[in-house]
């Protein structure tokens, strides 16, 4: 496949004046059973409600934009492999269509992965983690640099780097982002902490903005005798499991971020607050007036 500057968006593949047609190709109808999803599809979750809405649209208007496919890479399972348009293919099945319009193009694995990621990003159909997995595939499997990956999909290098950082977050924090409790921006603010969940829970409870959470992380980093965040993160990471469990229990009881530093016999307990109301809550708890 000729490199056409995919950073322009899908217009690099589809005619600008006729968005339903792929440049230099004519659609053909093929049986739905002749198609299978691409192994390079970055999307992991297909929302049932949105698929149902698309199926209703297809029943009334048909498929306006053909699917982009290539000949199957294994040559056994099905005749063609979907590069762009798996949602349309799934919805067409729900709409009881037997054939769908496709454009067949020769395409390498590298180009197929790139186009599949590009289509979903341009349509804003991916979760931030699916987007990150797509970048990681380009980098690890096809030897892209971050700058090259960014250029190919029309994003800045800083954007790609920030999205990739999210892959390092602990599972508990990832679930909070996936459930919509926190945004990706909140999660990035917490990545400097080895144990970000207490502060994450506090951010959710207090409905903090990203800026408020960033300030709380900075305050937490400097609270440990002026140490820098990297040293503070290391200290948390090496914490005794019993102290960590006590720390999380105290955080849950107070609804505020609690840090316990020391040993089983002596140490310090630090409680972080971000407003006068939270400070009053702490004082009330300590005086048994809550």
* Catalytic annotation, residues: 86
CA distance linking residue 210 with residue 159, whole number of Å: 17
Decide: 167 and 136 in contact? Cβ < 8 Å: yes
CA distance linking residue 126 with residue 64, whole number of Å: 21
Of the candidates 105, 159, 164, the one whose C-alpha atom is nearest the C-alpha of residue 138 is: 164
Decide: 190 and 158 in contact? Cβ < 8 Å: no
Q: What is the DSSP letter of 240?
A: -
Decide: 184 and 224 in contact? Cβ < 8 Å: no
Strands 80-84 and 67-71: antiparallel
SS3 31: strand
């Amino acid at each position: 496949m000729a490199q056409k500057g995919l950073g322009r968006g899908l217009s690099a593949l589809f005619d600008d004046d006729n968005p339903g047609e792929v440049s230099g190709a004519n659609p053909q109808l093929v049986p739905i059973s002749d198609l299978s999803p691409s192994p390079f599809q970055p999307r992991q979750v297909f929302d049932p409600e949105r698929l149902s809405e698309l199926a209703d649209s297809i029943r009334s208007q048909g498929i306006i934009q053909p699917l982009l496919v290539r000949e199957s890479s294994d040559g056994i399972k099905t005749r063609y492999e979907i590069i762009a348009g798996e949602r349309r293919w799934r919805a067409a099945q729900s709409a009881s269509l037997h054939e769908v319009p496709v454009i067949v193009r020769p395409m390498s694995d590298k180009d197929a992965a790139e186009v599949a990621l590009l289509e979903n990003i341009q349509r804003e159909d991916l979760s931030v983690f699916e987007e990150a997995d797509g970048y990681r595939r380009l980098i690890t499997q096809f030897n892209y640099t971050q700058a090259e990956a960014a250029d190919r999909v029309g994003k800045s290098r800083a954007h790609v780097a920030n999205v990739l950082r999210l892959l390092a977050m602990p599972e508990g924090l990832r679930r909070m982002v996936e459930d919509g409790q926190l945004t990706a921006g909140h999660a990035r603010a917490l990545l400097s902490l080895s144990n970000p969940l207490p502060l994450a829970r506090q951010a959710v409870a207090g409905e903090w903005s990203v800026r408020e959470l960033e300030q709380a992380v900075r305050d937490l980093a400097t609270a440990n005798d002026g140490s820098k965040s990297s040293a503070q993160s290391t200290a948390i990471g090496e914490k005794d499991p019993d102290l960590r469990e006590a720390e999380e229990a105290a955080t849950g009881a107070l609804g505020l971020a609690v840090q316990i530093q020391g040993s089983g016999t002596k140490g310090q307990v630090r409680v972080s607050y971000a407003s006068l109301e939270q400070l009053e809550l702490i004082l009330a708890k300590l005086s048994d007036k809550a």
